[in-house]
Amino acid sequence: MSEIKKSNSVDAATPADPSNSSTEVATRLYTRPDLEKIAAGEHYLNRIKSFVLRTGRLTPGQAKAIETLGPQFLLPYTAQAIDWEKSFQSTNAGRPRILEIGFGMGETTAKIAQVRPDDDFLAIEVHEPGVGALLKVIGEQNITNLRLMRHDAVEVVQNMIPEGYLDGVHVYFPDPWHKKRHNKRRLIQPEFVALLASRIKPGGYWHLATDWQEYAEQMMGVLSGEASLQNTGTLDGGYAERPSYRPITKFENRGIRLGHGVWDLVFKKK
């Protein structure tokens, strides 16, 4: 799950001066004044965290994967616009770019990367055991189109992803923070939705899923309220059929057997 907190790298997120060279303008991160305010520390995104960083013990296999595979597949946070092709060691600049926020132990992330080998995936997670677990799978199954980052996803989006850059975004089963007094910690809030939507190309998509109905309803309301997004769902309430690329996890299957619902939302960037 991503963290919402104050960024110490405001300068890296400041938009390029239009009078500067064309190269600088090409990496401009913001065009909307409200997004510039977010980067400048004038917003809730810089105050409230959407997760509690849990301590967890690495297994020997996870630790070995971080040590041996981390140098290639675990990208550092730089607070500068990402060089996607260099990060993925790709010579094809046209490959679709997909961002995933909060991959947990990485089961779903690995499966999606395997069924979509022509797409590149940058997956963000702050919990070290999950990072180690997914790196282990990457090594075991020789997955080449997946890179990881262990950092606050909000800072990554603010400072490393330019506007109109992503072909898709995945946010699966974010912490629902179900107690009312904790709802403010939820990742899906209007300001963050506006920020992340600005990073998606016209025609790109944002796919979310949750097994918490009240959070699904909030997600639907917030994303429907973002003028740059269009709902593609055709089910009751505006929800979408589960896309075939998203596998059903063991946890999800258990919930379904117990009668719990799962809600998918798919929005398109106008």
Catalytic residue IDs: 175
Which one, of 122, 119, 185, 198, lies nearest residue 153 by Cα?
122
Is 16 within 8 Å of 24 (Cβ atoms)?
yes
Which one, of 77, 185, 176, 91, lies nearest residue 131 by Cα?
77
Provide the 3-class DSSP secondary structure of residue 11: helix
Q: Is the dihedral of CA 180, 184, 185, 188 positive or negative?
A: positive
Partnered with residue 147 across adjacent β-strands are 122
Interatomic CA distance for residues 186 and 93, integer angstroms:
34
Interatomic CA distance for residues 240 and 231, integer angstroms:
9
Cα separation of the two ends of the chain: 26
Provide the 3-class DSSP secondary structure of residue 254: helix
